[in-house]
Amino acid sequence: MFEITPNLNPNDQTPLYIQLYQYLLKEIETGRIPQGTRLPSIRKLADHLGIGKNTVDAAYQQLIAEGFILSKPKSGLYVAEFDEQFFTPSQDSGSQFSCLEAVQPLESNYPFDFRHGHIDKDHFPVTIWRKLTNQVLYDQAIFSYGDRQGEPELRVELAKYLYQSRGVSCLPEQIIIGGGIQQLLSLLCFIIKLENPECDGKKSGQQQLNHYGNVAVENPGYDGAREVFRQHGFSIIPIELNTGGIDLKKLAKSNARIVYVTPSHQFPMGMIMPIANRMKLIQWADRVDGYIIEDDYDSEFRYKGKPIPTLQGIDSFGKVIYLGTFSKALLPSIRLAYMVLPEQLLKSFQTNFQSYEQPVSKILQKTVALFMQEGYWQKHLRRMRHIYQKKHETLHQSIRKFMGENVKIIGEESGLHLLIEVKNGDTEDTLIEKAKSSGVKIYPTAKYWMNQNQAKDPLLLVGFGGLSETEITEGIRRLSESWF
């Protein structure tokens, strides 16, 4: 039933049926009850509002008499259809929402969208996923609350997978499941605040609230992580990059004790941190008694060179917090990520967050666990690595074929995106607008710098996961025509 919930005041001098009539009239005039809408029957609306049927009937009859609603025999009451210009909304109509912007679509449709967050949807094993989900739903235990750290069977599978594929050494008990990297980072911020030695209880309450310490971040780097730290009250220290990733000398000169890095595929520049730098970074964390937050971004997809162990895998001091996600290798829409905590932070979580419920669907977690237990995960990964490698080669070859020396390719060793530095004299914004005019959506990088004036201009981000090889080739051809 289309429900109507007016604020009727029985103590008002205006009769209830007039109040209801005035409410309905205003809702129809402002379009909040759309034309053609079937209204509740007299009996249902009277029951819903707890008023008499005669009151509802009187309001409806007045609207029928004025032509605002129609009674259709054996069908019901409907809002009448009017010309678009029939009503002039009153000044205060919708005024309670005046501070809100109109809802806009997340993104416009372009035939060739090189967004870096898109994945290959055509090869997702829908039939297998449906079968496993149905299998999970037969278990009556699925309808209860789940483990607050995440379903045990999923954490067991993750611990095995992370050790075999990424060299992460952890117990299932160290893993916390979360609804995406940002949600886990937010939880981690709470934990770090409780553990930060600088909050020693000797300062006033206000000083403790405002003195959580500093977090060093890559510059340029993932703006989504940076925003989480900022909103939690951390002071953010941007550290520039060199060929090996974050500049360790500049990090050492900072007064940060926590650093957030993406060593497997630096976002957005794409370099991979060498093993020597990883060792030095861990030594820095031990020396300052701090922590490294390792976001293993795009780690599943590598196209050149040998795999390098994760920071967590070579950490012997318990200073690395490891983060990973299923967004790129499986689906971004499942919103499932994981965090591996070192012992001290794990104790803090288990002590201080006992009342926190697990945010990720238990049904989804058990489905992913089955997907891994029955061997589908590894099979899917092998298939997607092959598919993405072919797409990566197609993108690289197309850029070289159509753009030649007019661009420089940056960060093509791994992941689902690369950068192109364009040498035609246009600005980043101009290049993006020219691309749109040819049906191609391509993305800026300026927002990834703490100070956007530091951005190398023009440097554009090209994701290829969501496009076919044919679309990649045609999209790059169109880009080249619009730019050169």
What is the predicted pLDDT for the residue at 133? 94
User: Can you tell me the distance from the alpha carbon of 370 to that of 407, in angstroms, rounded to the nearest whole number?
Assistant: 45
First-to-final CA distance of the chain: 58
What is the predicted pLDDT for the residue at 331? 86
Cα–Cα separations (whole angstroms), residue 243 to 238, 246, 372, 386, 411: 16, 8, 36, 27, 10
Domain 126-376 grouped into CATH 3.40.640.10: yes
What is the predicted pLDDT for the residue at 395? 94
User: Can you tell me the distance from the alpha carbon of 411 to that of 414, in angstroms, rounded to the nearest whole number?
Assistant: 7
What is the predicted pLDDT for the residue at 7? 87
Q: Which CATH architecture has domain 16-90?
A: Orthogonal Bundle (1.10)
Instruction: Answer for the pair 193, 421: CB distance below 8 angstroms, yes or no.
Output: no
Write the pLDDT tens digit of every residue in 202-237: 344 434 433 347 899 999 999 999 999 999 999 999
Q: At what angle do helices 469-483 and 428-437 cross, to 10 degrees?
A: 120
Average pLDDT of each block of 10 consecutive residues along the chain (484 residues)?
78 89 89 89 90 92 89 88 58 49 61 89 91 91 89 96 92 96 95 69 41 82 94 94 95 94 91 94 95 88 77 94 91 92 93 91 95 95 92 94 92 84 88 93 91 77 93 95 92
What is the predicted pLDDT for the residue at 364? 95
User: Can you tell me the distance from the alpha carbon of 110 to that of 120, in angstroms, rounded to the nearest whole number?
Assistant: 16
What is the predicted pLDDT for the residue at 90? 47
What is the predicted pLDDT for the residue at 145? 87
CATH of domain 112-120+379-483: 3.90.1150.10
What is the predicted pLDDT for the residue at 143? 85
What is the predicted pLDDT for the residue at 204? 42
CA 458 to chain CA mean position, Å: 26
Q: What is the token pair recorded at 225?
A: 């992580």
What is the predicted pLDDT for the residue at 2? 63
What is the predicted pLDDT for the residue at 139? 85
Domain coordinates of the chain in residue numbers?
A: 16-90, 112-120+379-483, 126-376
